[in-house]
Structure 1
Amino acid sequence: MRTGPGADSAPAPSSTASEASEGPATTSMFSSLKNRNYRLFAAGQVVSNTGTWMQRIAQDWLVLTLTGSASAVGITVALQFLPMLLFGLYGGVLADRLPKRPLLLATQFAMAMTGIALAVLTLTGQVQVWHVYLIAFLLGLVTVIDNPARQTFVSEMVGPDQLANAVSLNSANFQSARLVGPAVAGVLITAVGSGYAFLFNGLSFIAPIAALLLMRTSELHRSVRTPRGKGQLREGLNYVSAHPELIWPIVLVGFVGTFGFNFPIWLSAFVDDVYHSGASTYGLLNTLMAVGSLAGALLAARRGTSRLRLMVGAAVVFGVLEVVAAFAPHFWIFAGLLVLIGMFGLTVNVTANSTVQMASDPAVRGRVMSLYMMVFVGGTPVGAPVFGWITDVYGPRIGFAAGGVLSFAGALLVGLMLARAGGLRLKVDLRRGRKHLDFVPRQPAAPEPAGGPDELRESRGGALESTGPAEKLTKVA
């Protein structure tokens, strides 16, 4: 992980920004909210995220109503994330080149228009499934630019010291909205139909647009913008390939995102085929997952640090829980397990996200995060139709279990590769009072001669850290 002097190539903030920063990093759960710009951003996002979750629930249920097919829900989800798979890296290049605040104003307005368009089609009774497919694809195109710009704008608001905390609070914000959005969407769909959920989502973007306009630009920690040039996309890929502490978290979220996060397919199918219920139950199950996800995000914010072993361990438990939930004999057992699935799934996501952001040079952070998001959500166009087909043919339980097994296998693979790259081995000690499982160095590290390629240097916290890839992995593991 990049720490210590010289780790960030961004220029020092202006005196105004320095005064606005909150001094040394703290470990309080909500420390990033002391920053005025970030408070505005968070307030706008909680309104918009509520609308986003309402639209997600209404969109899935609308497609299921129009077609009666879990595969159609999978196709809708795939189309929404296909642009990230096809064009995600180009979005990262734009995020590194362009000023992020004006870029976000444009993307938020475009996303508002997609919600309003779907609301008009639904409320007038003209909506057909191909309309939903098209709007989902257009929303995905906007997200290609919005996602890396929004992810990297966080560091401009809070600075490097509070970045891990702010990333965790962003996830908590998203999951807080998930507590409200699905429940409200379920009530609205049952009472007046899906159209009003889409309308609320379109209008909800007024809040983040207002927040961006009200920010004090003099207090932003501006990073160096990358000038236009050839080979910038390849430069970002080469940067990631040279850093194992970036590669393996991205690989892990690719496994989990492609195979383990197909919840719109599985939950809608469980509600319809297993529990023979309606939209309100679908909203309830999503809300219960959000309870667990919110708990995971707040715990991550309180920790304030990102450890790769935590990420891998959470992914292993996440896969096991999905398999267990798939064969839960009763509704409330299934519902309770969704809380735990939400908590461990969010822990994987937040830990990987903050690890990748903090280990990236600011000059290429947009491209690194676009690759991260391309792998995380870009795998959905591959996984969603496949798991939609498996769910239709073999039933929701087999589909859900298959996703859990593949997520578990991916976590084990990444854990072994991280241990190998970091020069670690698994130590098993079953004696009472000892740590039963732990990763320890294979051999004691010999001190490097002064001036060697892996010369030790002082980190911000005063601890010694090697600049070599293996030593970085050992430290963050």
Structure 2
Amino acid sequence: MSQQMHWKNILKIKDFQNLSFSTFLHWMGFGMEHVALGWLVVEMTDSPFMVGVAMAIRMLPMFLFGVFSGFFADNFDRRIMLRLVTFISGTIPIFLGFLLIIDQVNIIILLVFYMFSGTAFAFILTLRQTYIYDVVGESGVVTGLSLLQIFSQFGGIFGSFLSGWLIQEFNVGTQYIAIGLFSFGSFLILLNVRTPGEFRGDQSDSFIDSMTNYFKLLKNHSILITLMILVSMSEIFGFTHMTLVPVFSKDVLYLGAFGLGVLTSIRQLGGFAGLVALTVFQSYKFKGLLVLLITTIFGLTQIAAYFSSSFISFAIILFLINASAMSADTLFKSLMQVSVPNKDRGTAMGSWVLSIGTAPLGHLGLGAIADMRGAKFGFLFNGVILFGTGLISLTLLKNVKKIVL
């Protein structure tokens, strides 16, 4: 295990500063889009199941293009590719915003937009998570990812607050244009990042060869498969709680757009707290054991949501849910990168994106459950399964518990 770089030293790296500010702006837009997605679909369809469908379609590209995005990250300059995809991601919401303003959007057009938006997001996730390793190195990857996620959560907090206000005071079309402008701002800051993104260069493989090597990588590093399964379980029965938040907000707490924005901000604040806690525990070397403990707690917090019926209690629980979610997510990404050779880190992050791309199964199932039994039961269902996953993993997965970082 290498000596861990202190977070203060990481924050002094100029390229890390630029990457963090770029991430902050991008996640301001993401926080706004998350509120708008749930609110817009509920307003158009009044169906929890359709909220699940919209969330699923937005996540589907991560499953479809997860490995492909890893191929790009390993075979092209990550810095340049990150700039390109970030710019493209800004054009999509601006186009939708104009369509919303002139009232030319139906649910089909909206779902097509989410497919394109999700595709851009899948590539951005892989490229950014891999590029951070280039900027801070192996000794700073866990703390670097945690700090980057903190900037993400801050962006999401401000974006969520701004979103509820924009919808209430103006309209959702104006908000989508603002989302695009934040992405363009993120792109402009990326132009100042100087660290080259490592890639295979003249030794680059074709996509077919990369797929062949990918299966060899999984065969030779079976721990990666185990981590992928754990990430998928966390996504399907953990992160899909996002489908329930707008439904719970409207049907249980009787909140409007601004109230949903406040709840989403509190959720993002919980993620920030979880990431800060992770940096505090950076010296704890058994990160594999830690991620399994957090996964178990993640399940418990969702079970607690079943018993909530007031704004205050649900806000506190939502805070704890996302604290668990974001800290587990960061640890999984870090463990997957260090479990493979340096030249395959992009592929490892593509595997992570592929794993979180299984979330549509959870969004669709949870949307159907919420339609039949309500949002509260959806939280209980997810929580019991994820809690059980954590307990079983703590008992059986000795290879994961032994991972040190």
Q: Give the TM-score, by structure 1 length.
A: 0.80
Distance 1:318 1:59 in 2: 24
What corresponds to 1:207 in structure 2? 185
Contact 1:105–1:212 (Cα < 8 Å) also in 2: yes
How far does the alpha carbon of each residue in 1:268-294 deviate from its partner, in whole angstroms, 9 at most, with x for none?
111111112211121121111112110
State which of 259, 284, 292 in structure 2 corresponds to 1:281. Answer: 259
User: Percent identity over the alignment?
Assistant: 25
1:350 aligned onto 2:326: no
Deviation readout 1:175-194 (Å, 9 max, x if unpaired): 11121111111111111121
Alignment partner, residue 454 of structure 1 = none
Aligned residue number for residue 316 of structure 2: 336
Q: Is the 8 Å Cα contact of residues 71 and 347 (structure 2) preserved in structure 1?
A: yes
Question: Does 1:474 pair with 2:402?
Answer: yes
Counterpart residue type for residue 373 of structure 1: V
User: Cα distance, 1:198 vs. partner?
Assistant: 0.8
Amino acid at match of 1:394: R
Structure 1 SS opposite 2:191:
helix
Indicate conservation of the 8 Å contact 2:30/2:179, yes or no. yes
- How far the C-alpha of 1:339 sits from its partner, in A, is 1.3
Separation in 2, partners of 1:48, 1:141: 15
C-alpha separation between the residues in 2 aligned to 1:142 and 1:331?
Answer: 34
User: Residue 343 of structure 2 aligns to a residue in which SS?
Assistant: helix
The answer as to whether partners of 1:64 and 1:70 remain within 8 angstroms in 2 is yes
| Corresponding residue to 1:227 among 194, 201, 204 | 204
Bigger RCO (CA 8 Å, 6+ sep):
2
- Which residue identity lines up with residue 403 of structure 1 in the other structure? N
For 1:445-464, list aligned pairs within 5 A: none
User: In the aligned structure 1, how far is the partner of 2:37 from the partner of 2:58?
Assistant: 11
Q: Deviations over 1:361-409 (max 9, x none)?
A: 1211111111112112x11211111110100111111111111111112
Supply the AA of the counterpart residue of 2:34.
Answer: R
Please list every run of at least 4 consecutive aligned residues from structure 1 whose deviation after the TM superposition is greater than 4 angstroms.
none
1:72-471 correspondence runs (5 A): 72-217=50-195, 220=196, 222-225=198-201, 226-229=203-206, 230-304=208-282, 307-376=287-356, 378-419=357-398, 421=399
1: CA distance between counterparts of 2:152 and 2:388?
28
Q: For residues 251-279 of structure 1, what are the alpha-carbon distances to aligned partners after superposition, in whole Å with 9 as ceiling and x for unaligned?
A: 21210101111233211111111112211
TM-score of the aligned structures, taking structure 2 as reference length: 0.93
Find the aligned partners of 2:205 and 2:231 in 1 and give their Cα distance.
30
C-alpha spacing 1:185/1:254, structure 2 compared with 1 (3 Å): same
Query: Structure 1: how far apart are the matches of 2:241 and 2:158?
Result: 18
Q: 1:244, CA displacement in angstroms? A: 4.4
Change (3 A) 1:358 1:390: same
Whole-angstrom CA distance in 2 between matches of 1:396 and 1:227: 48
Once residues 258 and 244 of structure 2 are traced to their aligned partners in structure 1, the CA distance between those partners, rounded to angstroms, is 16
When structure 1 is superposed on structure 2, of 303-312 and 272-281 the one drifting more is 303-312
Between the aligned partners of 1:88 and 1:26, the Cα distance in structure 2 is 29
Quote the residue 2:35 is aligned against.
Answer: 57
Does the C-alpha gap of structure 1 residues 216 and 329 become closer, same or farther in structure 2, counting only changes over 3 Å?
closer
The Cα RMSD (Å) is: 1.9
2:366 maps to amino acid: F
Q: Is the CA contact (8 Å cut-off) linking 2:296 and 2:390 kept in structure 1? A: yes
Alignment deviations for residues 422-472 of structure 1 (CA, whole Å, 9 cap, x no partner) = 7xxxxxxxxxxxxxxxxxxxxxxxxxxxxxxxxxxxxxxxxxxxxxxxxxx
Assess, with a 3 A threshold, how the Cα gap between structure 1 residues 475 and 47 changes in structure 2: closer, same or farther. closer
**How far did residue 221 of structure 1 move?**
6.8
Change (3 A) 1:161 1:144: same
Distance in 2 of aligned mates of 1:265 and 1:216: 38
Structure 1 equivalent of residue 20 of structure 2: 42
Q: CA deviation at 1:474?
A: 2.6
Matched position secondary structure for 1:205: helix
Which residue pairs with 1:14 in the alignment?
Answer: none
Is the contact between residue 80 and residue 136 of structure 1 (CA under 8 Å) also seen in structure 2?
Answer: yes
Aligned to 2:44, which of 54, 61, 66? Answer: 66
More helix by share: 2
Structure 1 residue 223 displacement after superposition: 4.8
The answer (yes or no) to whether the contact 1:27–1:302 under 8 Å persists in 2 is no
Distance (whole Å) between structure 2 residues aligned to residue 199 and residue 303 of structure 1: 39
* Contact kept? 2:298, 2:325, Cα under 8 Å: yes
Q: Distance between the aligned counterparts of 1:194 and 1:46, measured in 2?
A: 21
Secondary structure of 2:204 counterpart: coil
Matches of 2:247 and 2:22, distance apart in 1: 33
Would the aligned equivalents of 1:59 and 1:132 in 2 still touch at CA under 8 Å? no
Take 2:333 and 2:186, find their aligned partners in 1: how far apart are those partners?
22
The answer to whether the Cα contact below 8 Å between 1:75 and 1:384 also exists between their aligned partners in 2 is yes
CA 1:237 to 1:83, structure 2 compared with 1: closer, same or farther past 3 Å?
same
Deviation at 1:112, TM superposition (A): 0.5
Q: Which of the two has higher C-alpha Rg?
A: 1
Partner Cα separation in structure 1 for residue 257 and residue 188 of structure 2: 32
Query: Letter of the aligned partner of 1:130 in structure 2?
Result: I
Determine if contact 2:75/2:199 at 8 Å carries over to the other structure.
no
Assess if the C-alpha contact under 8 Å between 1:154 and 1:167 holds in 2: yes
3-state secondary structure, aligned to 1:228: coil
1:301 is displaced (CA, Å) by 2.4
The CA deviation string for residues 12-41 of structure 1, in whole angstroms up to 9 with x for no partner, is xxxxxxxxxxxx74334x432211111111
Q: How many residues align?
A: 401
Residue identity opposite 1:267 in structure 2: V
